[in-house]
A and B are shown apart, each in its own frame.
Chain A
Amino acid sequence: MTDTSTPSPPRGAAEQGPAKRRLADRVFLGLSKGAALAIVAILAGVAIFLTAEGIPGITASPDEVKSGETFLAFVLPLVFGTLWSATLALVIALPLAVAVALFVTYYVPRRLGHTLGYVIDLLAAVPSVVFGLWGMRVLAGKLVGPYEWLEAHLGFLPFFAGPASATGRTILTAGIVLAVMIMPIITAIAREVFRQTPVLLEEAALALGATRWEMIRTVVLPHGRSGMIGGAMLGLGRALGETMAVAMVLSASGVVTFNLISSTNPSTIPANIALQFNEASGLTVNALIASGLVLFVITFAVNFAARAIVNRRKEFSGANA
């Protein structure tokens, strides 16, 4: 910039820039502050609503609600189902998404990679009803055979104890549908973070005699770790809150079981709300809202956990490199 030893330029011109920029800075600061406050306010509003409306449902006695149970007995199986189906979805989707992102970024010609990436992004925009319909009409039927096979051959594992569902509309099917739904978003984010791997580091690995896979292992995956966790959490959030797809696919009976292929399956909080809300009245409504509050808390907890994982090895993250 301007060197103090050189004759000073006309002052007006020199001062206008910074002044103008300061105004723009202020406007931007105001806007971003406003947006941040708005988000907090909305969140607080939602939390207050859920709490206020939910508490009567929590304290209601069993004979006042449709389920005929205490709130805890009502909500725990749902919490289990929600976490279980979302976990299944994540376990299926995350490795696939990372593999697809790596493949698209490092193993196909650049052009083709861009096209594939674009297609993946489009997939992320497909509404969940479509996935629900597909899961219910197509996938479930196709999975009956495999489920029977699993029961026959891996039945000694609690996951596949059976009896295999005749419709295929099991928690595993729901998990697969959810996985398909959240894969695009995880892939898109993973692809983005992989693309941002510093070339300097990639070359450092290659120059040491790394194969492409070794380069990915030593540089790309560690560098993309926090991004991948972020993507996984976004996906998990979507899976936790997914309503339509689960409601359509799953034939639920509110049990708590790790059995993946039987016809008695746990339900999830959002699917349960969607299915019950229309016919609910009185304190049953409050109980459903309270289950929503529980979901809200779970989502928060998941996010905090993710943040904690991301921060744990911050000094090794390269942020200070």
Chain B
Amino acid sequence: MSMRSVLRDSVPTTAARTTSATAADGPASRRPAIGIDVEDLDIYYGDVHAVRGITLAIQAQSVTSIIGPSGCGKSTFLRSLNRMHEVAPGARVEGTVRVDGRDLYAPGVDPVLVRREIGMVFQRPNPFPTMSIKDNVLAGVRLNGTRLKKDEADTIAERSLRGANLWDEVKDRLNRPGAGLSGGQQQRLCIARAIAVEPQVLLMDEPCSALDPISTSAIEDLIGQLKDEYTIVIVTHNMQQAARVSDETAFFNLAGVGEPGQLIESGPTTKIFSNPDNPSTEAYITGRFG
């Protein structure tokens, strides 16, 4: 399929990266972000077959949006990409997910390490309520057991908060609780927390659905900037948002009531939104659905 070959062609080059200001002052200069190759993926919750037969190539350093009606398995699919799926009791997957050529589900792969490489932002902002803004940002970095020196911690916190477009709003109250921020600020704090550990991939599950239009637009701008450095997959119910922020779009749908969700079609966002191959894609996008 076309996406697959696109991935091959665009296997990250370092050219784009040198322009990035944030990459330079990081302790470890960032590797180019990586793509994800999903092949014939089936996802289950115990006996419930939630998602069937997904084959999809997610390109490096681009934004891929996943759209589809409620219950079609978008979140489930997204969570299978960083092995968060298996947190649910009885959850399992069949098929392969390759990140940078390595099989995510191969025996011996530690899900903990996978999640450090592939960060996640949730639908509802979930900063750690017992931590200050700064500690929230550093939470993931500290998990690695590394003791941060004060100036190191300050550098990472500032870089991540700047990266999440939050620095100016919180720089005077870094030691205040993160839960005291507005919803939109909290969500950007969560993004800062996710990028503080310098993952390769950022998964976002409806990151704006609990936010007002202004916060939403702040986060959309942020996504546009982040794709220079990260591979981003975003689930959204907002068609305009998908059209605005993403380079590629994948449309999921239920095969029928009680059937598992499937990938109906995927491709460049412009194509999916202007000239989709599948009539149900067009119906969904134009709102003539169900």
- Other-chain contact of A200, B112, B122, B180 (Cβ < 8 Å): B122
A203 contacts across to B, CB distance below 8 A: 84, 87, 122, 126
Nearest CB of chain A from residue B3's CB, rounded to whole Å: 26
Render A92-107 as a binary contact track against B, CB cut-off 8 A, 1 for contact.
0000000000000000
B113 contacts across to A, CB distance below 8 A: 209
A-B contacts counted at CB < 8 A amount to 85
A208 near B124 with CB under 8 A, answer no
B177 near A208 with CB under 8 A, answer no
Q: Knowing A218-B139, A315-B177, A321-B179 touch, does A207 contact B128 (C-beta < 8 A)?
A: no
Nearest CB of chain A from residue B232's CB, rounded to whole Å: 15
B84 near A206 with CB under 8 A, answer yes
State the majority secondary structure of interface residues on B. mixed
A110 near B89 with CB under 8 A, answer yes
A204 near B190 with CB under 8 A, answer yes
Residues of chain A at interface, number, CB under 8 A: 27
> Does A214 sit within 8 A of B, measured CB to CB?
yes
A209 contacts across to B, CB distance below 8 A: 112-116, 140, 143-144, 197
Q: With a 10 A CB-CB cut-off, give which of B82, B113, B129 has the most chain A CB atoms.
A: B129
CA distance A144 to B107 in the complex (A): 51
A207 near B82 with CB under 8 A, answer yes
B112 contacts across to A, CB distance below 8 A: 209-211
B114 contacts across to A, CB distance below 8 A: 209
**In the complex, what residue of chain B is closest to A217 when comparing beta carbons?**
B143
B126 contacts across to A, CB distance below 8 A: 198, 200-201, 203-204
> Does A317 sit within 8 A of B, measured CB to CB?
yes
Q: Knowing A214-B143, A218-B143, A318-B179 touch, does A207 contact B129 (C-beta < 8 A)?
A: no
B→A interface (CB under 8 Å)? 82, 84, 87, 89, 112-116, 119-120, 122, 124, 126-132, 139-140, 143-144, 177, 179-180, 190, 193-194, 197
A→B interface (CB under 8 Å)? 110, 198, 200-211, 214, 218-219, 222-223, 225, 313, 315-318, 320-321
Top 8 A-B residue pairs of the complex, sorted by shortest distance between their CB atoms: A318-B129, A209-B116, A222-B130, A208-B140, A207-B120, A321-B179, A321-B129, A209-B115
